[in-house]
C-alpha cells in the first residue's frame, strides 16, 4: 500500500508560537515527522513525505522518500488519490503513534478507513475507493464520512488515542512528555520543557 505523510516545511505549527520560535517550530515539526516515519517503516511501509519544500535531514529513514508539492494540503493529497491506488494518508504531527497502530488502519476491507483527531479532524485515512477525494477543512472527519456515504463506500472508523492526538496547541506538548518515547519527546526535554502540575490540569513550562 502506498503511504503519504503531508508535511509543511515553512511556518509549521503556528499555534505553538507562544512557546517556540519559528526555527524551533520547524525543528520540532521535523522531530514529530521523524517519529511518524520511523513508525511507518517499523510497520513495514515505505512512506513518501509529501512536502511543501525539499527536506535535507540525514535522519530521514532510508526507506522514506520525499516528493515536493507546494500546493495546499487538500489539493496535494487529491492529486495522489487521482492515481486510483490504495493509499494511506497519515499526518506528520502524530508523535505518539506506534507500529502496532498501523495494522488497524491498513488490515481491513473497508473502502474508507478513518482515524479521527480529538478536535474532529482526520489524522489518518486509508482510501481504496477510486472516486473518493479529501477535504481537510473544518470537521473533516464528519465530512469524509459523509463523502464516503455519498459514494456508497464502506467505512471503518479507528478509535485510537495515539492516532487521535495531533500536536497543535501548547497543552498538547504535555501529551508528548507523558506518553512520547521518540525524537519529539527527546526534543522537548533537551529544549528545557517539563511537566507543570501546579494547576488544576497538567501543562508544561520551560526551564
CA distances to 56, 105, 111 from 1, in Å: 25, 11, 13
Domain that includes residue 121, residue range: 2-166
Higher pLDDT, 153 or 15: 153
Residue 113: strand pairing partners: 126, 156
CA distances to 8, 27, 64, 96, 182 from 37, in Å: 15, 15, 7, 12, 11
Span 30-54, pLDDT tens digits: 999 999 999 999 999 999 999 999 9
**Does a structural domain hold residue 182?**
no
**Does a structural domain hold residue 29?**
yes
Span 118-164, pLDDT tens digits: 999 999 999 999 999 999 999 999 999 999 999 999 999 999 999 99
Residue length of the chain: 207
**Does a structural domain hold residue 206?**
no
Q: Exposed (0-12), middle (13-18) or buried (19+): which is 156, by Cβ within 10 Å? A: middle
Task: Assign 18 a pLDDT band (cuts: 50, 70, 90).
Answer: confident
What is the tally of structural domains in the chain? 1
Question: In the predicted model, is pLDDT for residue 173 greater than 90?
Answer: yes
**Does a structural domain hold residue 198?**
no
Amino acid at each position: 500500500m502506498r503511504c503519504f505523510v503531508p508535511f509543511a516545511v515553512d511556518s509549521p505549527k503556528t499555534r505553538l508560537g507562544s512557546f517556540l520560535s519559528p526555527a524551533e517550530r520547524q525543528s520540532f515539526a521535523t522531530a514529530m515527522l521523524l517519529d511518524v516515519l520511523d513508525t511507518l517503516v517499523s510497520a513495514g511501509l515505505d512512506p513518501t513525505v509529501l512536502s511543501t519544500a525539499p527536506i535535507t535531514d540525514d535522519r530521514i529513514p532510508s526507506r522514506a522518500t520525499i516528493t515536493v508539492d507546494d500546493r495546499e494540503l487538500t489539493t496535494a493529497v487529491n492529486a495522489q488519490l487521482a492515481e486510483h491506488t490504495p493509499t494511506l494518508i497519515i499526518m506528520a504531527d502524530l508523535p505518539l503513534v506506534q507500529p502496532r497502530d498501523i495494522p488497524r488502519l491498513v488490515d481491513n476491507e473497508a473502502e474508507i478507513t478513518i482515524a479521527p483527531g480529538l478536535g474532529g479532524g482526520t489524522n489518518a485515512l486509508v482510501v481504496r475507493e477510486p472516486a473518493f477525494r479529501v477535504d481537510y477543512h473544518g470537521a473533516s472527519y464528519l465530512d469524509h464520512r459523509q463523502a464516503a456515504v455519498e459514494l456508497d463506500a464502506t467505512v471503518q472508523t479507528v478509535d485510537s488515542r495515539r492516532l487521535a492526538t495531533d500536536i497543535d496547541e501548547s497543552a498538547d506538548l504535555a501529551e508528548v512528555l507523558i506518553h512520547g518515547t521518540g525524537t519529539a519527546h527527546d526534543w522537548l526535554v533537551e529544549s528545557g520543557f517539563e511537566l507543570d502540575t501546579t494547576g488544576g490540569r497538567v501543562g508544561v513550562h520551560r526551564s
